[in-house]
């Protein structure tokens, strides 16, 4: 049976170990654009309000902030 050249391990094939994909590069760029915050609440507010961060991350920050917000007044 002849040895085929497709499938299986090939040295040097694929993305190099440690290389970042597009989503990670975009996430890192968005994280660098958030201002430095010493207060955790300020940081979560900055994440929640940042347009360049994925909506799921922003929603997570909003959920984490919920216990620290005032309850709306009910008239």
User: pLDDT at position 63, please?
Assistant: 95
Q: What is the pLDDT of residue 24?
A: 87
CA distances from 28 to 7, 23, 54, 68 (A): 34, 9, 12, 27
Residue 75: pLDDT over 80? no
What pTM does this model have? 0.57
**Closest by CA position to 53, among listed 8, 20, 23:** 23
Answer for the pair 27, 54: CB distance below 8 angstroms, yes or no.
yes
Domain ranges in the chain are: 36-70
Instruction: Output the pLDDT for position 4.
Output: 64
Query: Any alpha helices (H) in the chain, and if so which ranges?
Result: 22-33, 40-49, 55-65
Q: What does the pLDDT look like over 3-48, one tens digit per residue?
A: 666 777 888 888 888 899 988 888 888 878 888 888 889 989 998 9
């Amino acid at each position: 049976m002849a040895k085929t050249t497709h499938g299986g391990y090939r040295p040097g094939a694929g993305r190099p170990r440690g290389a970042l994909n597009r989503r990670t590069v975009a996430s890192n760029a968005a994280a660098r654009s958030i201002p430095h915050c010493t207060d955790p609440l300020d940081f979560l507010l900055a994440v929640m309000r940042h347009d360049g961060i994925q909506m799921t991350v922003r929603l997570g920050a909003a959920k984490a902030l919920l216990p620290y917000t005032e309850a709306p007044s009910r008239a």
